[in-house]
A and B are shown apart, each in its own frame.
Chain A
Amino acid sequence: MRGIRFTIHLLVVIASVNIIFFVAKKCDEIRPNQELQEFLYLAKNNEIKSFAFGFESEYADVLWMLSIQAFRQYCIEKVPFSEAKQVYQSIARLDPHFEGMYETACIYINMVEKKALPGVEFIENSLQQQPSLGVKYPKNEKLSKQPWMWYLLGRIYCLQRLELQKKDGVTIKETMRKAVHCMDECLKLSEGKHPGAQFFAYFLVRLDQGFSFDLLTWLQIYSGAEKNEVLRGLILETLQELISQVHLSSIRQKFKGYYQKHGVYPQKLEQCMAVVPVEPIIENMPKIAKRLLQIITSSLQKRMKANEIEILLNNFIHKQLLLEFPLGKSYIVSGDKILSFTIEKKYLEKQIRGMQIMVDRFKKKLGYFPKNLQEVVEKSGLPKLNPLPLNRKYTYNPKTGEVGNSE
């Protein structure tokens, strides 16, 4: 009798455990019991689990930081950032109000991806769709009626031009036309009150005429990248290049004027200019960037108009810079050309890096390193081996496939 009872009890327990197994599995299928990190790192399913406290924007921040880390890794170790698009889309979905700070993330990702910003597509779609994604807005209100969305899209188009040359036939000009349209739309919806759109609309229309827009964009990113040394370094180099370009354009005008007047090119720049600008050295660039930011901040505080700010910036670059930072490299006069050492050095690095990529591809395709660089040119279908700037020559090690340069 006791044996039968025991068997019945055992059967009941086994049956119950089996049913629990079945129901628990079913529960897991319907609603997976997953660990947070699986979602955060976007390992499998391109989803973010928004958990406790509802800090969705906090996740967006986490992802933003991840994208920066990945960008840094890319800059230092050349590790590809394959999840860039996923990360960006998730940021956008998590925090539809991602004005300001995430714009910077856009540009990082853009630099890594070297193609259209994934955010553009997202915002474009958001502007077209019917229901709102934003938690703050009622469902029936369209995002297309939100000035900030248009402003954001316009800003992203502006950033897009920094890296994009062409994307599916969309040229920089086309991108800028779109940016202007977005800013106009923003101004229309805000009844002309959106200060950011006013500012950008002014610079965008006259982008071809000056450097200020690029300078402002890079300074804005620089001011937001306090703790990112790698990015700050890159931006300082870019700013140095921008200033050199501004100097070169004014020097070339004077140079051309001298030629028209005397029929010969000047041997020295002093012959055509009373005050000869010098290229700022990289060591001075943090201070120069700080000064430029000061000028912009104080101008904005004084509620100066965009054109007045531009005049101030030009004045600083052409006059004040030499007085405050006299140390610098002279621009190179080479026959009928005026060259900047910084720009030429960058071009040199680009050429060498390009050739190194060609050699690596050659090895991957044919299984051996080319005997010399001429072989790469012949078998890759390149027209010729481009000469290096600054009178440098290619060096090549056929054993290691390493490309370099020498005097």
Chain B
Amino acid sequence: MVKLTVIAINTFRETMRDRILRVIVGVSIFVIIISKIIGELSIGQDLKILVDFSLGTIDIFGVVLCIFIGANLIQREIEKKTLYTILSCPINRWEFILGKYLGMSITLFVSTSVMGTFFCTYYYLMGGKITFDLIGAIILLFMGLMVLNSVAILLSVLASSSVSIIVTAITFFVGRSTYHLKAIPQFNDSAFAKYTSEILYYILPNFNNFDIKEEAAHALTVPGEVYLYACLYMLIYSFLMLYLASLAINKRNL
């Protein structure tokens, strides 16, 4: 447990020192501020646009962090050869993977919290009402980032930095448009296409489960079950990805 904590904290420190993190958080805060101006373009819907645009910003910049920092996490250790020093210590490889994951998760938590807190304060000052679902939307976005982080770590173990960055980005975009897979059977009568699309639909990470921006923007009540199952989905999907990452790193000749 101590080893795990040490790796997690070190990963957190390391990622927090990364200049890209500060740039991304700074840019996202700037985008949240200007979203009010965009909102002015609509008639009487400026606050809705502020919510939608800001949550979208938190989401997208969180994803960028995952892709550029998370997808590089293990590979960088290998390239700098620091991994050999770590693994020469009495530590299990799965502990190393989990520690890295937790460290990166803390970074994501801190960055999402900073962006989220800024957005909530700004929204409140602009006359908006902070509801549970609004905060819930930010929490769900963070959960989605945890899933993407686990995918990024798996890919980081399996492939080189550039490949893992590209594949993580593709995974995110595919995971955001899984409904297209659902539509395939409507246009194709083949049983093969039907089953393949269904299996892919459920196997690929479905990031729409963590996206309640629309509901939050329109002040709609989100059932508690949505949070519960999204949390379960995040836990089990992350577990599977980290499990596979541990198996993969065990197989590697390091």
Contacts and interface: CB of A to CB of B under 8 A. Distances in A.
Interface of A: 9, 12-13, 16-17, 19-21, 23-27, 30-31, 33-35, 49-57, 97, 135-136
B180 interface: yes
A82 to B, nearest CB: 22
Contacts, number: 94
Contacts of A35: 179-180, 182-183
A52 B226 contact: no
A16 B239 CA distance: 8
B42 A55 contact: yes
16 contacts: A16-B236, A16-B239, A19-B236, A20-B233, A23-B236, A24-B206, A26-B225, A31-B212, A33-B182, A33-B206, A33-B209, A35-B182, A52-B214, A53-B52, A54-B48, A97-B44
Given A34-B179, A35-B180, A55-B42, A21 B202 contact: yes
Given A16-B239, A23-B232, A35-B180, A54 B51 contact: yes
Secondary structure at the B interface, as helix, strand, loop or mixed, is helix
Interface of B: 42-45, 48-49, 51-53, 56, 178-180, 182-183, 201-203, 206, 208-209, 212-214, 217-218, 222-223, 225-226, 229-230, 232-233, 236-237, 239-240, 243-244, 247
A13 B243 contact: yes
Contact of A17 (B43, B203, B213, B217): B203
A30 B225 contact: yes
A135 B45 contact: yes
B240 A30 contact: no
Nearest to B182: A33
B183 A27 contact: no
Given A30-B229, A35-B179, A54 B237 contact: no
B206 to A, nearest CB: 6
A52 B243 contact: no
A31 B221 CA distance: 12
Contacts of A57: 42-43, 45
Contact of B230 (A16, A17, A27, A97): A27
Contacts of A16: 236, 239-240, 243
A24 B209 contact: yes
Contacts of B209: 24, 27, 31, 33
A9 B213 CA distance: 37
* Complex A-B, nearest 7 residue pairs according to Cβ-Cβ distance, in ascending order: A54-B48, A16-B240, A27-B209, A23-B233, A35-B179, A27-B229, A54-B217
Given A25-B202, A34-B179, A20 B214 contact: no
Contacts of A135: 44-45, 48
A170 B247 CA distance: 76
B247 to A, nearest CB: 6
Contacts of B179: 33-35
B45 A55 contact: yes
Contacts of A51: 214
Given A16-B240, A33-B206, A35-B183, A27 B42 contact: no
Contacts of B247: 9
Nearest to B210: A27
A122 to B, nearest CB: 19
B49 A53 contact: yes
B145 to A, nearest CB: 17
A243 B31 CA distance: 58
Nearest to A12: B243
Given A20-B202, A52-B56, A54-B52, A30 B45 contact: no
Contacts of A23: 229, 232-233, 236
Given A21-B202, A35-B183, A53-B49, A27 B233 contact: yes
B52 to A, nearest CB: 5
B244 A54 contact: no
A24 B244 CA distance: 20
Contact of B49 (A17, A26, A54): A54
Contacts of A13: 240, 243-244
B43 to A, nearest CB: 7
Contacts of B43: 57, 97
Given A9-B247, A17-B203, A55-B42, 10 more contacts: A16-B239, A20-B202, A23-B236, A24-B209, A30-B223, A31-B209, A33-B209, A53-B48, A54-B51, A97-B43
